[in-house]
Amino acid sequence: MTAWHSLNQLHLECFSNSLEGVPTDVCVYCCLAVKPSLYPSISAFKSDSTETSPDREIDEMATKKAVLFNLWGVVVSPSPAEVFLKCEETLKLPSGFLKKVVIDKHSAMERAERGKLTLSQMIPELDAECVSAASDQKVSLPAGFSVKSLLEELRDSTTVNKHILQTVAMLRRQGLLTGVLANQWVDDSGSGDSSGRLLSLLGGHFDVVLQSCRTGLRVPETDLFTSALTQLGVPPKQALWLGDDEEGVGAAEAVGMTAVLVKDLPEALKQVETFTGVQVVTGESYPASCNPEEVSHGYITIKPSVKLHYVEMGTGPPVMLCHGFPESWYSWRYQIPALADAGFRVLSLDMKGYGESTAPPDIEEYSQEQICQDLVTFMDKMGIPQVTLVGHDWGGAVVWNMARCHPERVRAVASLNTPLFPVDPSKDPMNFLKTVPIFDYQLYFQDPGVAETEMEKDLARTFKIFFHGSGDKDNVPEINTAGVCARGGLFVGLPDEIPRSSILSETALQFYITQFKDKGFRGPLNWYRNVVSNWKWLCSRPRAKLLMPALMVTAGKDPVLLPVFSKGMENMVRPHTHTHTHTHIFIHTCIHVDSTCDCDISVCQIPNLTRGHIEECGHWTQMERSVPVCVCVSVCVCVCVSLHRPMEGRLTV
């Protein structure tokens, strides 16, 4: 088992009790090793026009706090000293023999940790030093002894302390800064990616990671502590050190820091609480959102004058995230880092008509047939033969339609809130929408320019109305999607001043405003204006089983996409002509419709479907319940993609 697999297995334990039906042998590393929160001082929307006085900068520096962690023995375990001790016991060497060799200030390991030797250079020199020390001390080394096997043991047994990562997430969420000081060498062994993954993990979670091999400074040298504090902009008296050795504690105290010798982790974390004022021992761990300025952006030309914008993070099997109305790639801001940490290449799209993607004026550009073809072209140009698709709202419809119509390109499929709806060739979809009151808003959206005018009048108000959580009913007015045409607008009857929901930060609100202020709502609303063309296209397609692994996550408080709509997804029937009767669930409704046929029934089955349900959650699932969504999606993706087999059972969060 590699160090990374050990890390994944460790984090599986954190949420296995809250998920039913998850195989215990699955390696999963998702939302519990969360990405860092944004620095409170960083905002893409902060004005550059106001200068900060030197006195204010000094005051701000004095109020900042930071927590620094020793890598070995605190952030990761075991420490090299523990592995050396275990090796001495196994090889029946005198206690402390290896430690004395490596701590010599001229030893190969010391020089490697200062960046003067690489790992491959260090091993033969350290072997020679051990042989020389054994000769001097009359110690018998076993035949074929080499520190290479000892270092491999260290690599393969290394695990990351989940409690420390959760603590760091809580600290950064509250605006504190964090850092890791690491005595490490440059790993040029070419024996896997464990070192690279660990460094990537650290770099993603901590504000500062100082490696001895890059700085030439080692723990417990005081200059290393001073360098870290300087980079963080925090004075020593505002900083705390957590280390597992007395020398490091002494060095931290020597520069004016408060220091904790970590012997009992829960006790040490209580001292972190005391110093920072942040509850970390029992506090909930949250995934943090992406900073739009700190993620990788890309653009793919689909055809002349049409481009798709995407955000990319992570390496590994590709996972594509498709948002709904009226959203953005940013709606997946919590799930992007969680999936990237899980070992996947995450591609979060601005769907056509949104954000930095092109918004062509023609309604036909937004048909499901065209949208799916756009995604296929996107994958072709990105060199992606197959992808795991995850969608929400309209994005959920897209991923199901990709699975139905382009199954060879879909490795696995997951949808939040939006079920796979069967299509009835005998029912006119526009007439049917008129029979379902809660879908009256879709009829209101049909006339170009009408809904656009209402929504573009005050963008801040629009997004405050749309983005509300299931727990905001007493504070934030809820949209009534029924009777919209009769009252003359979706927002008619709502107050002018709308409070901002707890699920929508001011930063997020301003981001959505910037994404819609230029292009408006014409493109996004055009998705609704292809009801008939979508129906005709899907009726023309064959109905085969969806054999790829699939996940359907329903939300108990979604006022439009009700959980009951997903009933029967595993075995849906499509009637052809009228002779005998079947009961099935039709598009966007829980109403059972009787229809008949005189020929064989075409059955659309999803035999590898896994279900998840989040009862206390409204429509905006990724934002309102970011942790459960990270769990559900990451578990499904890891199982379906990494292990190449469908999940079994049901996820309950």
- Enumerate the active-site residues: 393, 528, 619
* Dihedral sign computed on CA atoms, order 174, 175, 177, 178: positive
Measured CA to CA, the distance from residue 419 to residue 110 in angstroms comes to 59
Say whether 613 sits in a helix, a strand or coil. Answer: strand
Measured CA to CA, the distance from residue 268 to residue 278 in angstroms comes to 13
Alpha carbon of 549 to those of 31, 318, 401, 491, 636: distances in Å? 21, 15, 15, 39, 8
Measured CA to CA, the distance from residue 35 to residue 203 in angstroms comes to 10
Cβ–Cβ < 8 Å for 80, 154: yes
Measured CA to CA, the distance from residue 501 to residue 477 in angstroms comes to 10
Measured between alpha carbons, how far apart are the two ends of the chain, in Å? 29
Measured CA to CA, the distance from residue 590 to residue 567 in angstroms comes to 8
- The H or E element that residue 70 is part of is strand 66-70
Alpha carbon of 268 to those of 82, 336, 351: distances in Å? 20, 31, 47
Number of residues in the chain: 653
Q: Are strands 592-597 and 650-652 parallel, antiparallel or unpaired?
A: unpaired
R_g over Cα of the chain:
28
Residue 466 buriedness (CB in 10 A; 0-12 / 13-18 / 19+): buried
Measured CA to CA, the distance from residue 339 to residue 34 in angstroms comes to 10
Q: Where are the beta strands (DSSP E) in 107-264?
A: 159-160, 177-182, 208-211, 239-243, 258-261
DSSP 152-181: HHHHHH-EE-HHHHHHHHHHHHTT-EEEEE
CA atoms within 13 A on the CB side of 132: 11
Measured CA to CA, the distance from residue 638 to residue 651 in angstroms comes to 14
Amino acid at 409: R
DSSP 433-467: HTT-GGGHHHHHTTSTTHHHHHHHS-HHHHHHHHS
Measured CA to CA, the distance from residue 223 to residue 239 in angstroms comes to 15
Cβ–Cβ < 8 Å for 229, 56: no
Say whether 361 sits in a helix, a strand or coil. Answer: coil
326 prior amide bond cis, ω within 30 = yes
Measured CA to CA, the distance from residue 401 to residue 579 in angstroms comes to 29
Measured CA to CA, the distance from residue 242 to residue 271 in angstroms comes to 10
Cβ–Cβ < 8 Å for 396, 569: no
- 3-class SS letters over 71-111: CECCCEECCHHHHHHHHHHHHCCCCCHHHHHHHCCCCHHHH
Q: Where are the beta strands (DSSP E) in 167-284?
A: 177-182, 208-211, 239-243, 258-261
Measured CA to CA, the distance from residue 421 to residue 568 in angstroms comes to 10
